[in-house]
């Protein structure tokens, strides 16, 4: 099995790359899904968050109020680190279990497991993967996409970007870079190239 880490800054188009890799045959393990699952009502993750930040982070139905928690930790690096120390180990545990389940269910030898990890550069998890793919775009294009596609102001977009690793930090952990500054056709072509390379690395013959 080839274990691949996939990351990219907000607005980079990482999800588009993930969808294309799945279409080619990759097994996707999504950290965003994991982050939601480990804090569902009744989970130890949610209990730990409430113990650390108080019941004000709960919605009336007992679920996590992500918006409220975000308001608390967004502008405070120490509180954000405190939250990450709770959530990140649980996310890794969930993703490892999901990978084992996916591999057991795979109907072919040597599956390629792609771990979609938005904060891979921040958590310095490169050592856990056979290689890391970084989806890369210039910061000015990130701002444009966040404004046009998500309705943020330019200042809001830059604040979100500044809360993540820098472009340079992400590229430092990259074994493979997918530039997503062009058209969707360009992206299709590049992902197909990368998929062929992943198959070779995994010892699989391209179809």
**CA separation for the pair 112, 164 (Å, rounded):** 27
**CA separation for the pair 49, 96 (Å, rounded):** 22
Residue 123 has pLDDT above 90, yes or no: no
Q: Decide: residue 28, CB within 10 A, 0-12 exposed, 13-18 middle, 19+ buried.
A: middle
Query: What contacts 196, CB < 8 A, 6 or more positions away?
Result: 206
**CA separation for the pair 207, 203 (Å, rounded):** 12
Residue 206, in any domain of the structure: no
Residue 79, in any domain of the structure: yes
Residue 44, in any domain of the structure: yes
Domain count, the chain: 1
Per-residue pLDDT reduced to its tens digit, 172-206:
999 999 999 999 999 999 999 999 999 999 887 65
Query: In this predicted structure, what is the pLDDT of residue 106?
Result: 60
**Range name among 69-78, 91-100, 106-115, 162-171 with the lowest pLDDT average:** 106-115
Which run of H or of E encompasses 154? helix 154-162
Q: In the structure, what pLDDT confidence band is assigned to residue 50 with cuts at 50, 70 and 90? A: very high
Q: What is the CATH number of the domain that holds 174?
A: 3.40.50.300
Spatial CA neighbour of 128 closest among 16, 43, 48, 31: 31
3-state secondary structure of 59: coil
**CA separation for the pair 80, 16 (Å, rounded):** 27
Residue 207, in any domain of the structure: no
Query: In this predicted structure, what is the pLDDT of residue 204?
Result: 73
Residue 27, in any domain of the structure: yes
Per-residue pLDDT reduced to its tens digit, 19-31:
999 999 999 999 8
pTM > 0.85: yes or no: no
Strand order from edge to edge, sheet including 27-30:
27-30, 112-116, 2-8, 131-136, 176-179
Cβ neighbours around 65 below 10 Å, total: 15
Q: What is the mean pLDDT of residues 116-138?
A: 86
Residue 163, in any domain of the structure: yes
Residue 34, in any domain of the structure: yes
Q: Which residues span the domain enclosing 69?
A: 2-201
Average pLDDT for the chain: 90
Residue 113, in any domain of the structure: yes
């Amino acid at each position: 099995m080839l274990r691949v880490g996939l990351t990219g800054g907000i607005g980079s188009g990482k999800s588009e790359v993930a969808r294309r890799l799945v279409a080619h045959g990759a097994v996707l393990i999504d950290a965003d899904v994991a982050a939601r699952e480990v804090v569902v009502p009744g989970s130890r993750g949610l209990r730990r968050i409430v113990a650390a930040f108080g019941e004000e982070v709960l919605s009336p139905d007992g679920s996590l109020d992500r918006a409220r928690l975000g308001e608390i930790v967004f502008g405070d690096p120490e509180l954000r680190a405190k939250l990450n120390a709770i959530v990140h180990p649980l996310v890794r545990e969930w993703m490892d279990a999901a990978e084992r389940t996916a591999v057991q269910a795979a109907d072919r030898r040597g599956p390629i497991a792609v771990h979609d990890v938005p904060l891979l550069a921040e958590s310095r998890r490169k050592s856990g993967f056979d290689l890391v793919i970084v989806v890369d775009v210039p910061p000015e294009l990130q701002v444009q996409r966040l404004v046009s596609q998500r309705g943020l102001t330019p200042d809001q977009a830059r604040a979100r970007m500044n809360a993540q690793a820098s472009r340079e930090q992400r590229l430092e952990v990259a074994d493979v870079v997918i530039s997503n500054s062009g058209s969707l056709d360009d992206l299709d072509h590049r992902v197909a190239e990368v998929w062929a390379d992943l198959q070779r690395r995994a010892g699989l013959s391209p179809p």
